[in-house]
Amino acid sequence: MFDELIGNDRVKKLLRRMLQSSRLPGAMLFSGEDGVGKKLFALEIARALNCRNPQGGEACGTCAACKRTLKINYPAGDDSDDWKGIIWTDHADVGLVVAPKRVLLVDQMRAIENAANYRPFEGKARVFIVEDADKLNENSANALLKILEEPPPTSYIILLTSRPAWLLPTIRSRCQIIRFSPLTAAEIENHLTQNKMANAAEARVRARVARGSLSRALEEDLDDFLEQRKAMLEVVEALVRSDGRLQLLRSAEQLNEAQYKNEYERYLDVLETLIRDLWLCSLDDEDLGIIVNQDVLPQLKGLAKGLDSKRPAIWIGQIEEMREQLVVNINRKPATDALFLTMAAASATELPPKRRYIIK
* Residue ranges in contact with Zn ion by CB under 5 A: 51, 59-60, 63, 66
* DSSP letters for 176-200: EEEEPPPPPHHHHHHHHHHTTSS-H
Residue 219: what are its φ and ψ, rounded to 5°? -85, -25
- On whether the CB atoms of residues 172 and 148 are closer than 8 A, the answer is no
Q: Are strands 176-179 and 27-31 parallel, antiparallel or unpaired?
A: parallel
Provide, rounded to whole angstroms, the least separation between the CB of residue 23 and Zn ion. Answer: 21
Residues 6+ apart with CB under 8 A from 159: 27, 28, 29, 30, 129, 130, 133, 167, 171, 175
Whichever of 68 and 204 has its CB closer to Zn ion, that residue is: 68
CB of 128 to Zn ion, least distance (A): 20
Residue 91: CB minimum distance to Zn ion, A: 11
Of 59 and 144, which CB lies nearer to Zn ion in the complex structure?
Answer: 59
Burial of 306 per CB tally in 10 Å (0-12, 13-18, 19+): exposed
SS3 percent helix, strand, coil of the chain, rounded to 5, is 55, 10, 35
d(CA 83, CA 86): 8
Beta-carbon count within 10 A of 33 CB: 17
Smaller CB distance to Zn ion: residue 69 or 342? 69
> Backbone dihedral region of 220: left (phi > 0), alpha (psi from -120 to 50 degrees) or beta?
beta
- Least CB distance to Zn ion at residue 62 (A): 6
Number of other CB atoms surrounding residue 316 within 10 Å = 18
Element of type H or E holding 220: none
In order, the DSSP letters of 70-94 are T-B---SS--GGGGSS-EEBSSTTE
- Tell me whether residue 60 or residue 231 sits nearer to Zn ion (CB atom): 60
Q: How far is the CB of 64 from Zn ion (least distance, A)?
A: 8
Q: Are 94 and 65 in contact (CB under 8 A)?
A: no
CA distances from 320 to 83, 260, 275, 280, 317 (A): 39, 19, 12, 17, 5
Which residue, 66 or 97, is less far from Zn ion as judged by CB?
Answer: 66
Which residue, 70 or 326, is less far from Zn ion as judged by CB?
Answer: 70
Least distance from Zn ion to the Cβ atom of residue 66, Å:
3
Contacts of 30 (CB under 8 A, 6+ apart): 38, 41, 42, 158, 159, 160, 161, 178, 180
Min dist CB 4 to Zn ion, Å, is 12
Pick between residue 61 and residue 95 the one whose CB is nearest to Zn ion: 61
If the CB atoms of residues 63 and 115 are measured against Zn ion, the closer one turns out to be 63
Give the whole-angstrom CA distance, residue 293 versus residue 270: 10
**Minimum distance from CB of 67 to Zn ion (Å)?**
8
The smaller minimum CB distance to Zn ion, of residues 53 and 80, is found at 53
Q: Could you tell me the smallest distance in angstroms from the CB atom of residue 60 to Zn ion?
A: 4
